[in-house]
Chain A
């Protein structure tokens, strides 16, 4: 039951996750519209990851006056020899993800203001919100955090997801 987290301790600041994310969603490399980002200070080397906590947070969904952010069932497959599997107990995990329904979104901006990690925005080319959808179950950010000594971008499971699954 999945969301992506970036470990500030492990992350090296290579931004491969942002690049892969944008290529997957935008069809071109464009990290300024990546669905997650790693904030790096080059001088101090301090790093802070920003990712969507999905149903573990849900603030965007609660704030949306048009019910344009919906809970969708998803099965996440973790790609790669090293990533994720130990933590989620296997190659795949089922759960829920929050997705924007473009037709319902009016770009009112309520969700932009409440997101605690700053990962839901207005799309620069389309007047709708965009956010992480776990790549429909094959998160490219995790796949491209490939260095076995690093593995900073990883899948996490949260309590709310578990409750939802049991309900």
Chain B
């Protein structure tokens, strides 16, 4: 079929073998690709209740149907597994050029199973798959070094997905990296690769992605880019990128500061977009993206991409760091070691808090660069204070008797938006299918950026979290699910109508906006069933983020609290809208209505 390669590569690390299977096109029709198809494969491929660290827990790499075409931003790869950090589904997205190259090599998806007896690198050149010992040459290399080594030893045009030392040492928030600065950052896929002793997959593809009438498709994509992609609404990402959020969030009292003790950072002007624009060197793009949002900077001799807003928030404000050079160094260390910056910044901020409260002296202090810049490598090596920090926020706070200081949901550290300044985020965090995440729904767009809805009320927000508010650019969970099946990036504010126009090319039939939303709802419910099957914690978030007594006393969001009862009611309203019972189990009627093809 056009757009799909129709093939899955299955890699068995235990046996050191690979096999090619047909892609299940019945599933593809229901769940599209990306997130949807990934979750459908996970339902069958992940043995129920499996220990996430077990060889039987696979890691699945899934592309979207438009990877390797001119559809802007859809080059993204999604990586899925039952997360060793959260014990539930984890779908982690990464840009760059790996997914298109995988398609050109002939595969829509790669399923990695088993555990290699010795560290290994897998190389794929079209239909030739080889297992190369990773020791002594590759094991231990940083992310830039392993990519360079693959270009040198395997193929000058190789695209590499790899772990750094963080993954080798099974740090719970270790990433998968590609094109060095691109990370499938969250959920610990890197840790699982480390356990499986898989250092890298390098792929080179010389084949094609078929699309039917190519010239007609080119003409339509040219139009779609002019009309919908390269517009003012999207080009902010090219002009400034996510650092533009730093000042906005701080001004709104939403920026986690000094381990979430306030929402406004007094030193934000040192690390906001204006500050980064002054040291900008160039823009780069992911494969097949006309927007080109990746901002390169040079600070104190370090040249690299980012930091992005989440890093500025968690590794900057949350650690009290208003020193651009220190922040850039921290970000660079995390990138090279292959560990997630959100979790790293969250844990270091927590350790600073424990130190300053006199609970345990980690030698880390809010605002002090010394100690802070060494933290990523100490965490990676579990050396000194790193042994404690590598526990993650929840276990670290519990170990020292202060669980209330850990800012996480379902054992995934929270990103850079404090719900006390944007109430809708509380429901987003609590109901996110992978734990503490801002990418499933983004009420911030309504409440802060567009100012269309009040940020200090939960009234009507459950409906927005489920369905979004496309007119104001706000993404709801159902829409994000279908968008991530595409796999569209958030930096093209694609609408259901535009998605329908592009889907039409792939399936040679009309799509309605309702149908686009329904696919999203189907995917979201499938994810919920997976999490229920594996055993998911109740939907909640740290109580101080909604309880009356948790309100900030300083900053722009001071004095605001959702209130415990209001939050619980909104959560029940959310379940009702979803057609789930009071504990969040989807009803048979709902599953039948939206065509989910599996049952608990």
Chain A interface residues (CB < 8 Å from chain B): 12-16, 19-20, 22-24, 26-32, 40, 42-45, 79-81, 124, 140, 143-144, 146-150
Contact = CB atoms under 8 A, between A and B. Distances in A.
Nearest to A37: B157
Given A32-B104, A149-B235, A14 B218 contact: no
Given A14-B290, A149-B238, 13 more contacts: A14-B285, A14-B286, A14-B289, A23-B70, A23-B217, A29-B68, A29-B208, A29-B210, A30-B207, A31-B104, A80-B222, A144-B290, A147-B235
Contacts of B230: 146-148
Contact of A12 (B147, B239, B292, B305): B292
B214 A42 contact: no
B369 interface: no
13 contacts: A13-B284, A20-B70, A24-B218, A28-B214, A32-B104, A40-B284, A42-B179, A42-B181, A43-B148, A45-B305, A80-B226, A143-B222, A148-B230
B409 interface: no
A64 to B, nearest CB: 26
Contacts of A24: 214-215, 218
A29 B210 CA distance: 6
B239 A149 contact: yes
B576 interface: no
B341 interface: no
Interface in B196-245: 205-211, 214-215, 217-218, 222, 225-226, 229-230, 235, 238-239
B206 A32 contact: yes
Nearest to B303: A44
B355 interface: no
B226 A29 contact: no
B69 interface: yes
Contacts of B284: 12-13, 40, 45
Given A12-B283, A24-B215, A30-B104, A144 B70 contact: yes
3 tightest Cβ-Cβ pairs between the two chains A and B: A30-B208, A14-B285, A42-B179
A22 B217 CA distance: 13
A23 B218 contact: yes
B296 A45 contact: yes
B144 interface: yes
A45 B179 CA distance: 10
A161 B374 CA distance: 59
B222 A23 contact: no
B224 to A, nearest CB: 10
A32 B125 CA distance: 13
A84 B288 CA distance: 21
Most B C-beta atoms less than 10 A away, residue of A40, A79, A81, A124: A40
B70, B181, B217, most chain A CB atoms within 10 A: B70
B222 A29 contact: no
Interface residues of B, number: 48
Contacts of A45: 281-282, 284, 296, 303, 305
A97 to B, nearest CB: 20
B70 A147 contact: no
A44 B68 CA distance: 24
A12 B285 contact: yes
B180 A42 contact: yes
A14 B587 CA distance: 44
Nearest to A81: B226
Given A14-B292, A143-B222, A27 B214 contact: yes
Interface hub of A44, A45, A146 (most chain B Cβ within 10 A) = A45
B291 to A, nearest CB: 7
Nearest to B229: A146
Nearest to B178: A42
B517 interface: no
A144 B296 CA distance: 23
Given A124-B206, A143-B222, A19 B290 contact: no
Contacts of A143: 222
Contacts of B283: 12, 149-150
B290 A147 contact: yes
Interface in B227-270: 229-230, 235, 238-239
A27 B238 CA distance: 31
A23 B147 contact: no
A16 B181 contact: no
Contacts of A42: 96, 147, 179-181
A32 B155 CA distance: 13
B70 A16 contact: yes
A10 to B, nearest CB: 9
Interface in B162-184: 179-181
B285 A32 contact: no
Interface in B299-318: 303, 305
Contact of B285 (A13, A22, A28, A144): A13
A143 B296 CA distance: 26
B288 A19 contact: yes
A141 to B, nearest CB: 11
Contacts of B214: 23-24, 26-29
A13 B290 CA distance: 10
B502 to A, nearest CB: 15
A116 to B, nearest CB: 18
Given A19-B70, A42-B181, A140 B218 contact: yes
A14 B287 contact: yes
Nearest to B286: A14
A23 B104 CA distance: 13
A147 B235 CA distance: 9
Contacts of A23: 69-70, 211, 214-215, 217-218
A29 B69 contact: yes
Contacts of A28: 208-211, 214
Interface in B559-573: none
B238 A147 contact: yes
Interface string B341-356: 0000000000000000
A149 B205 CA distance: 30
Contacts of B208: 22, 26, 28-30
A127 B283 CA distance: 39
B71 to A, nearest CB: 10
A33 to B, nearest CB: 8
A21 to B, nearest CB: 10
B290 A146 contact: yes
A144 B225 CA distance: 9
Given A42-B180, A44-B303, A45-B284, A146 B222 contact: yes
A42 B294 CA distance: 11
A12 B210 CA distance: 25
Contacts of A147: 230, 235, 238, 290-292
